[in-house]
Amino acid sequence: MSPSTGPRVLVVDDEPAIRRAVSTNLARHEFRVEEAETGQQALDLYASFRPDVIILDLSLPDFDGLQVIERIRVRSSTPIIILSVRGGERDKVSALDLGADDYLTKPFSINELLARIRVALRHLARPDSPGVFRTGDLEVDLEHRRVRLADKEVDLSPTEYDLLKVFVTHPDRVLTHAMLVHDVWGPEYGTESHYLHVYVARLRKKLEPDSQRPRYIITEPGVGYRLIADDSLKPDTT
């Protein structure tokens, strides 16, 4: 009953009830869906079905979901959204560091999952070439290294700009501390995330209307940061 034209989503979960709920919803939202129960099935379907997005559970009967991420990342950058009952920081960080794009903890809301799938697909459609990134009042011109907030030029230090650039090129994605440190300061800094927190605080001071309650660069507790471009992902401000 899946339409033959929509984006392809692979749902990997060992729980039939979860698979059924997710795929029924996806089918109704014009996605083409395939289900996999085990890691091996997931890898086989990945090759034959060529999904645009993968929804992956970490606890699989044959091997760990983390291994699935590793094997897929060797071949491609297909967005992977982790959907797992494991909600610990360490689980999130290791999945994201291995290349997962997003992480949702069970129990989850179907609406939120659908929103995250849309975000993943939108980034897939967006070309990687530098251009102008806009969200809310924030405008980042990657070609001319210019940042404007509500049409006013913002003065950033080189490191602040480099950090913002990493966020802007990965909008709506959870970026772990390790990824950000690696991309901005280089591999020799390892897991030293002290500078990172300082620079995120500076960026927020310059960009956020209220740096105590950021709307652009939000904290993923214990994991990292995320630049919000899609309004449906905005955290509750209540």
Partner 1 sequence: MMKSMVLRKTAAGYVLAALSTTCLTALLAPFRDEVGLLIQGLLFLLLTLLVASVWGRNAGLFTAVITNISLNFFFIHPLYTLDVADPENIAALVIFLVVSIVGGTLLSSSRQSAAEARRRQAETEVALRLSRALSGQTEPERALEALCEEVVRSFDAPGAAVLTLIDGAWQLRAHAGGAQAGRAPDTEERTALERAASRGSLEGFGVTGLTRTRRRRIVVPRGREAAFRLERSVAFLPLKLGNRVLGVLRVDGPIGNSPFRSEPEGLLAAIASEAALAVQRAELAQAAAHAEALREADELKSALLNAVSHDLRTPLASIIASAGSLQQTDVIWTDEERRVFAESIEHEAQRLDRLVGNLLDLSRIESGSLRPEKGWYDLGALVGEVVGRLKPITAQHAVTVDISEDLPPIFLDYIEVDEVLTNLVENATKYTPAGSAIEVRARPLEKEAMVEVIDSGPGIPAEALERIFDPFFRVKGSRARGTGLGLAVARGLVKAHAGRMWAENRPEGGARFAFALPLPVPQEKPPAGTTIRA
Judged by CB, which is closer to partner 1: 118, or 206? 118
Residue of 73, 86, 202, 206 that binds partner 1 (CB under 8 A):
86
Cβ distance 41 to 49 under 8 Å?
Answer: no
Q: Which string of x and - marks every residue 23-52 that binds partner 1 (by CB under 8 A)?
A: -xx--xx--------x--------------
* Listed ranges 58-66, 118-126, 138-146, 174-182: which one lies at the site for partner 1 (CB under 8 A): 58-66
Does position 22 interact with partner 1 (CB under 8 A)? The reply is yes
DSSP 154: -
Q: In angstroms, rounded to a whole number, what is the distance separating the alpha carbons of residues 116 and 120?
A: 6
Judged by CB, which is closer to partner 1: 60, or 181? 60
Residue of 2, 73, 85, 141 that binds partner 1 (CB under 8 A):
85
- Give the number of other Cβ atoms within 10 Å of residue 43's Cβ: 17
Does position 118 interact with partner 1 (CB under 8 A)? The reply is no
185-188's contacts with Cβ under 8 Å and 24+ in sequence apart are none
Q: In angstroms, rounded to a whole number, what is the distance separating the alpha carbons of residues 42 and 205?
A: 44
Cβ distance 227 to 171 under 8 Å?
Answer: yes
Strand partners for 138: 135, 149
Judged by CB, which is closer to partner 1: 52, or 57? 57
Judged by CB, which is closer to partner 1: 107, or 221? 107
Helix (H) / strand (E) element for 139: namely strand 138-141
Cβ distance 95 to 220 under 8 Å?
Answer: no
* Listed ranges 13-21, 138-146, 166-174, 191-199: which one lies at the site for partner 1 (CB under 8 A): 13-21
* Listed ranges 57-65, 147-155, 190-198, 217-225: which one lies at the site for partner 1 (CB under 8 A): 57-65
Residue of 75, 90, 106, 205 that binds partner 1 (CB under 8 A):
106
Please name which of 172, 178, 166 lies closest in space to residue 218, comparing C-alpha atoms.
Answer: 172
In the complex, the residues that contact partner 1 under the rule CB under 8 A are 14-15, 17-18, 20-22, 24-25, 28-29, 38, 59, 61-62, 85-86, 106-111
